[in-house]
Amino acid sequence: MLNKQKIGVIGENIACRFLENKYNFKIIKRNYRKKWGEIDIIAEKDNMLHFVEVKTVSCETGFDTENIKNPEENIHPWKLKRLSRTIQSYLMEKDTEGGDWQFDTLAVFLFIKDKKARVRFFENIVLS
């Protein structure tokens, strides 16, 4: 049985490969941390900076995602506020405040017994 942290790391690894292989993203940084928050993946595509939150859930078997809690629902308003502050910190640090950027979410469903995964990609989520 995998613990929550290992599941998260596996989900982030899958998310990076998904973004690189399916959408031609260039991964710039993983796990950018400040004391007020963390961004799982910072990537770039077509001169757009993408800040990506990855939410992973482990499933017993099969691809019946209808009856599984949606991991993207774990991004609550307080989490969005922390993410927004962390993104602003990154932009100021890298002196890219005027550049184009967006916030995306990847939901990763891990089917441990089948050694498979399914990914849902939500682009350009509004941070309030």
All domains of the chain in start order, with CATH: 4-125 (3.40.1350.10)
**CA angle 102–127–24, rounded 5-degree value:** 20
Residue 17's alpha-carbon distances to 11, 20, 73, 76, 100, in angstroms, are: 10, 5, 23, 26, 23
Q: What is the pLDDT of residue 54?
A: 95
The more confidently predicted of residues 60 and 64 is 60
> Residues 35-50: pLDDT tens digits?
999 999 999 999 999 9
* Strand partners for 68: none
